[in-house]
Amino acid sequence: MNKKNIYDKESMLKDISERKKLIEEYKAKGYLNREDAIKKIMELRSSDPDVSKVTTERLIVSSIPFDKATDEAIATELQMQIDILSLKISKCN
């Protein structure tokens, strides 16, 4: 594994960890830091082509603006991003 792949993997693990923390807090306390969650979703949508592709495909079927989305819908999007990143990591190994 070259340095770029190691960096990419570390970056993906960090992204996963941040999203899991938001979801765990939401499930445990019923509170979702919407601002942070939406920021993370948008950043990954713009920086990761795989996440962007899947998101675009999902938005064709259903599109709800973040200000109208439920906390559950935002948490579901975070989980989708975790799943995509986890799959990418498994392919790196």
Write the pLDDT tens digit of every residue in 59-89: 766 678 888 999 999 999 999 999 999 999 9
Residues near 78 by Cβ (< 8 Å), separated by ≥ 6? 19, 22, 23, 37, 40, 41
When divided into structural domains, the chain yields a total of 1
Confidence grade of residue 38 (pLDDT, cut at 50, 70, 90): very high
Residue 93 clears pLDDT 70, i.e. is over it: no
Say how far apart CA 50 and CA 30 lie, in whole Å.
30
Q: Which of 25-39, 46-60, 76-90 has the lowest mean pLDDT?
A: 46-60
| Structural domain span for residue 29 | 3-92
Reference 69, options 46, 51, 42; nearest CA is 42
Residue 5 clears pLDDT 70, i.e. is over it: no
Say how far apart CA 83 and CA 41 lie, in whole Å.
13
Say how far apart CA 25 and CA 32 lie, in whole Å.
7
